[in-house]
Amino acid sequence: MNRSYFKKLETHDNNLPLELTTVIDQLAFNEKGLIPVITQDAISKNVLMFAWMSKESLYLTIQTKHMTYWSRSRNCLWVKGKSSGHTQSLTSMAFDCDGDVILCQVEQVGAACHTGRRDCFYLNVDLDKSKVTVTGQATL
């Protein structure tokens, strides 16, 4: 990661857009060439899932508008919904202040979670009782 690059952007003129490829070249892909991605429902604003992208999958996502991650378990490109039909169409994308996280808003078809639940965050902490409740039902 080039921290000095993103440090300069903190006060960059809002009226002078930067080349996307230049910014992507500075993003903090980790030692495995991956960067974290937060995927949020464009309408409900619920956080649907968290995954990783390689530079290639990032460019594919931008070009096709179909969310394309890097599957760490299968070690390959992962076009979301390619087999399940539960696709995610990209509607907006932003990078964070440090250039080490990507936030994507998407139109979700069906379920974001592999269990069939709408999103992956179904293990809810009861902060007062120190319990965890499973919510929703697995349908896949």
CA pair distance 35, 52, nearest whole angstrom: 5
CA pair distance 35, 40, nearest whole angstrom: 16
56: Cα separation from own chain's centroid: 14
In terms of DSSP bridges, do strands 123-126 and 131-134 run parallel, antiparallel, or are they unpaired? antiparallel
Task: Compute the least distance from the CB of residue 88 to a copy of itself, in Å.
Answer: 14
CA pair distance 29, 120, nearest whole angstrom: 24
The binder of a copy of itself chosen from 4, 75, 83, 130 (CB under 8 A) = 130
The binder of a copy of itself chosen from 2, 12, 82, 84 (CB under 8 A) = 12
Residue 86, judged by CB atoms within 10 A of its CB (0-12, 13-18, 19+), counts as middle
The binder of a copy of itself chosen from 56, 84, 107, 133 (CB under 8 A) = 133
Identify which of residues 76 and 125 has a Cβ nearer to a copy of itself in the complex: 125
32 lies in the binding site for a copy of itself (CB under 8 A): no
Binding to a copy of itself, residues 44-73 (CB under 8 A): 45-47, 49-50, 62, 65
Q: Which residues bind a copy of itself (CB under 8 A)?
A: 9-14, 17-21, 23, 36, 38, 40, 45-47, 49-50, 62, 65, 90, 92-101, 103, 113-115, 117, 120-127, 129-138
